[in-house]
Chains A and B, each alone.
Chain A
């Protein structure tokens, strides 16, 4: 069966510091991968998606970037965090016939 992992689970970072969130998927090959964010009191917003290694599409302009160095690894990064980057970050993988399926998420607080 497929499993999706995210780490860390929680993160508190100062404004201006860098960020790296990692997501890995097990049990599937060549998945579509996605980064979503849920800001406080709001729904989920798609940030990035990837259909293959090195292929990244950005859905909204922002202070973040994404990379896919391996087939089942997806990384969300920032060089300098802003207060507005705080939120709950969710990685997901796409499948036909059901889902997509989300990971457990990372709670990021920027102070």
Chain B
């Protein structure tokens, strides 16, 4: 049972435009959500997170939106840059804020930003 799903395997965006990566979850116990960026043969790099008590969190060019009723979150990257090209993973946890490491990951979305 895939509790976290990223239904778009890939996304292609022009430099300077907005990239929107989507993620859906089924487990209503999840209360903390994270986005990671991963290059080949490297470990994932933490980008941004959001608690279930919020519906938006912003950090520079990255904004994460959470819609709890729809069990949906999205990552917006504005403006997109060629260096953003990577695999993006959505992750979730139901640890109640005490242990953020036990994550359930989506399958990942390959983002390609064209110059």
Against B, the Cβ 8 Å flags (1 = close, 0 = not) of A33-77 are 110100000111110010100000001000000000000000000
Whether the Cβ atoms of B100 and A99 lie closer than 8 Å is yes
A80 to B105, CA, bound (A): 28
A105 contacts B101, CB within 8 Å? no
Given A103-B43, A105-B43, CB of A96 within 8 Å of CB of B105: no
CB <8 Å contact, B99 and A94: yes
Closest-by-CB residue of B relative to A32 is: B101
B residues with a Cβ closer than 8 A to A are 4, 34, 36, 41-46, 49, 89, 91, 97-108
Give me 20 other A-B pairs in contact (C-beta within 8 A), A43-B105, A100-B103 excluded.
A34-B101, A36-B103, A44-B91, A44-B103, A44-B105, A45-B105, A46-B102, A49-B99, A51-B99, A92-B101, A94-B101, A94-B102, A95-B100, A96-B98, A98-B46, A98-B49, A99-B101, A101-B46, A102-B36, A107-B41
